[in-house]
Chain A
Amino acid sequence: MERPYPRLTPENAFFWTSGSDGTLRFLRCASCGHFLHPPLPRCPICLGSKIASVAVSGRAKVVARTINHHAWHAAFPPPYLIALVEIAEAPYVRLTTRIINCEPDEVEIGAPVRVVFERQGPAWLPLFELEPK
């Protein structure tokens, strides 16, 4: 069984294909600089409508994590680590994601991580790995 992937739409395609050049991008309000995630057509801070996707560094910090032990899906054999990370340029923007290339119990709250993309269907999923110490 295939892993589920996001259905691409005109609104979300920039995000899910952003990893094709190895770069993470988010929408940002050109008027006030607020980052918008998940994507929105207007800025919730200033109601501005000039919204464009901008590249970020791909650095983030782990704010919570859980090791999943239950077999919810045939293509996701447990255990694996799910984490909530906040984006360096805008800590109010978070991604629910996985931390890979390490043991699940190696990931501490506060750990610096960096983005690494994984192809799934038409999408490049932003996963993360621990920054080298």
Chain B
Amino acid sequence: MDKFESRSRITGIGMSQVGRRLGVDPVGLAIDACIAALADAGLTRRDIDGLACHMGPVSSDGYSGAGIIDVEEVLRIHPRWFVSGHEMAGHSGPLLQAALAIAAGLCRHVLIFRCTWETTALARARSDRDPAPQAPWVEGDHQWRLPFGAFSPANWIALYADRHFNKYGTTREQLGAIALNARANAALNAYAVYKDPLTMDDYLSARMISTPLGLYDCDVPCDGAVAMVLSAADAARDTRRPNPIRIEAMGGQTTERWSWDQDTIDHEPLMKGAASSMWARTDLKPADVAMAQIYDGFTFNCLSWIETLGFCPTGEGGRFVEGGTRIALDGELPINTHGGQLSAGRLQGYGFLHEACVQLWGEAGDRQVPGDPQVSVVTTGGGAPGGAILLTQG
């Protein structure tokens, strides 16, 4: 199959400093990540002719730390093509869009970035001497949950977890295996936010957030940015590495309602179509995947992706991760080898993309997956639309 994915390569990745309450202008973080990605690809900003970003302009709630407008004002790339937003195939949707733009011949090298500054934005809001008045009302999609005290995705996703526990016998210890695995991997990752050892006792005795999800089932907000360069396959020859990463398949179909409560509740919504549409575009099977860098905004999201991607049947996810050996760095399917968002920090999906590239290039140092891994699946989102990507060594 002549597919759009085969016409581009990932040729460079970059990351800013990552941490909690860094107290710096988030646009600077985005620029740092972009400059690092350019250097990694062996390119300069003059080589870039496209820009793609998840979310949009910098927002005071911290969810977006930089948009196209913010980055272009510094880099002055004069992009021939650009896109940003969040009605896309997961947080990684801009990568899919960029691959389409390259396949269509619009661009040679696209710079893709995502910046978040939730912890600094929150700290600023708390210390604001002149805070904006907050409306007592809520509107849009929030009206269906917030008036009932369901304020957080922790509540909404706890409902799916409750159902999974009751329907399939999933346990807290099984979700805990995902949290412990993330922390063990984070200990080997210099940029991870939390590296201290985490035991099952720590996990089980931590304060409850929304049953059955406790503190360590929730990911860690942080400040930071990731960027990557996606190049046309022929233009990739002009870049630094001899083995740019190939995209085997991407999927982002939505086959369920865009709703937290009206459609599927057996797994996190909007994952299934992403996974099935990715698998439909490749001959590879789950058994060919050497590692999985999959969205873990909560432990349950990770479990949902394991099932949805077909690594085990629906309902078996708890037993699949139990004890943690199967998903460990030296296990049969290493998962979230950088520590995931649970321990490395919530880089809004881009930590997974970054880690897959580092691992496929064999540059992960102490946390390198053994056996020269050839194939990584990367997923982002769920709840909001999900995106699924299969990356392979060049």
Residue ranges of A at the interface with B (Cβ–Cβ < 8 Å)? 2-7, 9, 12, 37-38, 63-70, 72-73, 76, 80, 82-84, 92-98, 109, 120-121, 123, 125, 127
Contacts of A96 in B (CB 8 A): 144-145, 148, 150, 156, 159, 260-261
- Return B169 CB to nearest CB of chain A, in Å: 13
- Within B292-333, the residues touching A (CB, 8 Å) are none
Chain A residue, CB-CB nearest to B263:
A92
Are A82 and B210 touching (Cβ within 8 A)? yes
Are A69 and B151 touching (Cβ within 8 A)? no
- Return A86 CB to nearest CB of chain B, in Å: 10
Chain B contact patch, size range? 35 or more
- Return B209 CB to nearest CB of chain A, in Å: 5
Q: How far is the CA of A110 from the CA of B139 in the complex (A)?
A: 30
Interface string of B189-215 (1 = CB under 8 A from A): 000000000000000000111111100
Chain A residue, CB-CB nearest to B162:
A64
Are A65 and B147 touching (Cβ within 8 A)? no
Residue ranges of B at the interface with A (Cβ–Cβ < 8 Å)? 135-139, 141, 143-152, 154-156, 158-163, 166, 207-213, 260-262, 265
Question: Given A67-B211, A69-B210, is A5 in contact with B138 using a C-beta cutoff of 8 Å?
Answer: yes
Are B209 and A73 touching (Cβ within 8 A)? no
- Return B291 CB to nearest CB of chain A, in Å: 32
Q: How far is the CA of A79 from the CA of B133 in the complex (A)?
A: 28
- Return A84 CB to nearest CB of chain B, in Å: 5
Are B261 and A4 touching (Cβ within 8 A)? no
Q: How far is the CA of A109 from the CA of B154 in the complex (A)?
A: 19
Contacts of B159 in A (CB 8 A): 64-66, 82-84, 96
Chain B residue, CB-CB nearest to A2:
B136
21 pairs, A vs B, C-beta closer than 8 Å? A4-B138, A4-B147, A5-B136, A6-B143, A9-B139, A12-B143, A64-B265, A66-B159, A66-B211, A66-B213, A68-B150, A69-B207, A70-B152, A70-B210, A76-B149, A80-B149, A82-B148, A96-B148, A96-B261, A109-B163, A125-B148
Chain A residue, CB-CB nearest to B159:
A64
Question: Given A4-B137, A6-B137, A64-B162, is A93 in contact with B147 using a C-beta cutoff of 8 Å?
Answer: no
Chain A residue, CB-CB nearest to B262:
A94
Question: Given A4-B136, A4-B138, A84-B261, is A64 in contact with B160 using a C-beta cutoff of 8 Å?
Answer: yes
Question: Given A73-B149, A96-B260, is A109 in contact with B136 using a C-beta cutoff of 8 Å?
Answer: no
Contacts of A123 in B (CB 8 A): 147
Add 7 more A-B contacts to A7-B137, A82-B158 (CB < 8 A): A6-B137, A6-B139, A66-B158, A67-B208, A80-B149, A82-B155, A109-B163
Contact for A69 among B138, B161, B163, B211, CB less than 8 A: B211
Contacts of A72 in B (CB 8 A): 149, 151-152
Q: How far is the CA of A88 from the CA of B144 in the complex (A)?
A: 19
Contacts of A120 in B (CB 8 A): 147
- Return A37 CB to nearest CB of chain B, in Å: 7
Contacts of A38 in B (CB 8 A): 141, 144, 262
Contacts of A68 in B (CB 8 A): 149-150, 155, 158, 209-210
Q: How far is the CA of A89 from the CA of B151 in the complex (A)?
A: 28
Q: Which 5 A-B pairs have the closest CB atoms?
A: A66-B158, A72-B151, A6-B143, A7-B137, A64-B159
- Return A61 CB to nearest CB of chain B, in Å: 13
Are B136 and A82 touching (Cβ within 8 A)? no
- Return A16 CB to nearest CB of chain B, in Å: 8
Are A82 and B147 touching (Cβ within 8 A)? no
Q: How far is the CA of A73 from the CA of B152 in the complex (A)?
A: 11
